[in-house]
Amino acid sequence: MKSAIQHTTNKVSALVRFTLGAAILSGSMLSTAYAETSSNLHGTWTNLLAQHITPINQGHSTAVDYAGFKQQEDTLQTYLDTLAETTRTEFDGWSKEKQLAFLINAYNAWTVEFILTKYPDLDSIKDLGSLFNSPWDKEFVPLLGKTLSLNDIEHGLIRGSGRYNDPRIHFAVNCASIGCPALREEAYTADKLEQQLTQQTERFLTDSSRNYIKGNNIYLSSIFKWYDEDFETGFRGTKSIQGFINLYVDALQLTEAQQSTLKNQKFKVKYLDYDWNLNASR
């Protein structure tokens, strides 16, 4: 009798160990799958950008193949749907870097989709608005449990949250216009965000068609005029536009005299006209 009971007990113990092991393995596999899905959240966007973005102007700018995007609009929509599935609770649990990369990608991807709603019958993103309604105020983006506008993403979630305080975002978000900084050829990701934002900033600042020094004047993109307060909030110790630019003197290859003039804010700042024509490759 004792032997039979012991035999039964051993079988039950083995079954419990097997069940627990399977559960642990299953949980591990689910965790791994979740991690892989999370890390590849923007993989589809990177693939689309790699196919339809072309560097121009010696790499300072990019042209967008909207016709190519149009052919793969279903794939783009699948990516946008994935973004829309992210809950506010999930988002709030992420690092600042992951949040910011997510918001920049969402802004850029939805801007492309916005252009596709009328492409090729438009010359500018402004054609999607009207005399009394800005295209950036249209609420059509399902994100974090709400329906948002592009302005809600940029000025509310990114700039207005007070969480990120990084003026370099102005060289990462793209408004589908020639005057905009380049639409990057890859998605922004948490692990590469610092490098990507630095590269985008240098890429834009060193574009002599949009930012340059001549005599005692420094000519800058209107981006600096529109968002001047973002460059005065102490990013890396800088309190002015010229102070911010001085962080990138190596990339700008300024002479020592120019660096001194810039540091002492003796340049007179002038702003260039902004080109709102569509940044289309054809």
- What would the 3-class secondary structure string for 224-238 be? HHHCHHHHCCCHHHC
- Domain map of the chain by residue range? 1-39, 40-271
Q: What's the pLDDT score for residue 169?
A: 98
In angstroms, the CA 248 to CA 169 distance is: 16
Mean pLDDT of 157-168: 94
Residue 203 contacts residue 60 (beta carbons within 8 Å): yes
Residue 275 contacts residue 178 (beta carbons within 8 Å): yes
- Confidence band (pLDDT; 50, 70, 90) for 10? very low
Q: What's the pLDDT score for residue 4?
A: 44
Q: What's the pLDDT score for residue 40?
A: 83
CA 56, chain centre distance (Å):
20
Instruction: Tell me which of 2-6, 145-149, 230-234, 262-266 is least confident.
Output: 2-6
Mean pLDDT of 17-23: 39
The DSSP letter of residue 33 is: H
Mean pLDDT of 60-70: 97
- Confidence band (pLDDT; 50, 70, 90) for 142? very high
Reduced to 3 states (helix: H, G, I; strand: E, B; else coil), residue 20 is helix
In angstroms, the CA 159 to CA 151 distance is: 10
- pTM comes to 0.85
Mean pLDDT of 85-105: 97
Type of residue found at 243: G
The per-residue pLDDT for range 28-58, each reduced to its tens digit, is 343 333 333 445 899 999 999 999 999 999 9
Phi, psi for residue 52 in degrees, rounded to 5: -120, 10
Mean pLDDT of 134-156: 97
What's the chain's length in residues? 282
Mean pLDDT of 224-237: 94
Mean pLDDT of 126-145: 95
- Confidence band (pLDDT; 50, 70, 90) for 262? confident
Residue 113 contacts residue 77 (beta carbons within 8 Å): yes
Mean pLDDT value across the chain: 88
Helical packing angle, 73-84 and 43-52, nearest 10°: 150
Q: For residue 70, give both structure tokens.
A: 């149009």
- Confidence band (pLDDT; 50, 70, 90) for 250? confident
Instruction: Tell me which of 3-12, 156-165, 190-199 is least confident.
Output: 3-12
Give the H or E element holding residue 14.
helix 2-39
Q: What's the pLDDT score for residue 41?
A: 94
Sequence-distant (6+) residues with CB within 8 A of 200 are 168, 171, 172, 181, 182, 184
Q: What's the pLDDT score for residue 255?
A: 87
